[in-house]
Structure 1
Amino acid sequence: MPDGAHIADIADVPDVGSYLFTAEDAFTNEQELILVRCDDEPGIEGWVNNCTHENQRLDRGAGAAMRDGEIICPKHGSMFDACSGECDNGEAAGTTLPSVEITVADGSAFLTDDNYTYLHDGGVGDDDPSSTSHISF
C-alpha cells in the first residue's frame, strides 16, 4: 500500500466524468480536487477542480463534463486534456490544470501529494450537516 490517504476505488471513478473530493492544502484551505479517467498509465489523473481561466468549478457536484478524453469548462467551453491537463482552445488556451499527485495501487487511488491532506469525498461543505440546501454558492 502506498503512503497516502485512500481516495476511492478505481471502479468508483466514472469512465466519463469525475470523482470529486476535498483536501486541505498547505495553508489549511479546503480545496476541491477531482479524479478523472485517462488513457495514459496509470489510467487515473488528479486535478484541482478549477478552470485556469477564472475561478470556475469544473465539477459542480455531478461530475465534470467530458468529451473525447477532455474535461470541459462549463462556463466558456475550454477543453483540458484529461491526461496532461493542457488546454489548447477557448479562454484558457495555453494553460494547464494544476495537477495533484495520486498513486494507483491494488485497485484504488491514493492521495500522495505532500501539498494536500485528504478530508472527505465530495465538494467543500458537502459534509456540513447544517446545510440542507441543494444550491451551492
Structure 2
Amino acid sequence: MVEGARIADLEDVPERGSYLFTVEDAFTNEREVILVPCKTDPGVEAWINNCTHENQRLDRGSGAAMRDGELICPKHGSMFDACSGACDNGEAAGTSLPGVDIAVEDGGVFLTDDNYTYLRGGGVEDDDGPDSTSHIGF
C-alpha cells in the first residue's frame, strides 16, 4: 500500500491537459502542482505549476495547454516534455520543471513527496488574474 495522500483517480487526469491541485511546503507556502499524462510508467507525472523562465502558471485553472506530449507556457510558448519536464526551446530552454513525487496504485494517484502536504484539488486562490504580454488589459 502506498503511503501518501490520494490526489485523484488516474482517470481524472485528462489525455491532453492537466489536473490541478494545491500543496503546502515546509514553510506553509501554498504551491500549485499539475498532474499531466505521460507515455512512460506510471502514465502520469507531477510538476510545480510554473514556467521556469518567469512566474507564469502553466495551468490557469482550465488545464494546461499541451501538444505532442509537451506542456506549453501560455506566455512565451516554451514547451516542456510532459514526462521529463525538460525544455529545449524558447525563453525557458535548458531548464526543467521542478518535479513532485507521486505514485500510482489501484487506479489512484498519491502524493509521496516528503517536501509537500496535500491540501486540496484545484488551485491557490488568487485574484490577480492572468499575466500576459498582451497590450489588452483585464
Give, in whole Å, the separation in 1 of the partners of 2:31 and 2:20: 11
TM-score by length of 1: 0.92
| Stretches (4+) displaced over 6 A | none
**Aligned twin of 1:59:** 59
| TM-score computed with the length of structure 2 as normaliser | 0.91
Aligned: 1:50 with 2:43: no
One-letter identity of the residue aligned with 1:100: V
How many residues get paired? 130
Unpaired runs of at least 5, structure 2: 131-138
The separation in 2 between residues aligned to 1:72 and 1:26, in whole angstroms, is 29
Counterpart CA distance in 2 for 1:108 and 1:89 is 33
Q: How many Å separate the matches in 2 of 1:27 and 1:114?
A: 13
Structure 1 segment 1-137 matched on structure 2, within 5 A = 1-125=1-125, 136=129
- Partner secondary structure for residue 76 of structure 2: coil
Residue 35 of structure 1 aligns to a residue whose secondary structure is: strand
- Report the CA distance between 1:136 and its aligned residue: 3.5
* Structure 1 portions without partners, runs of 5+: 127-132
What CA deviation, in whole Å up to 9, does each residue of 1:32-81 have, x standing for no partner? 00000000111000000000001000000000000000000000000000
What is the letter of the counterpart of residue 125 of structure 2? G
> RMSD of aligned C-alpha atoms?
1.3
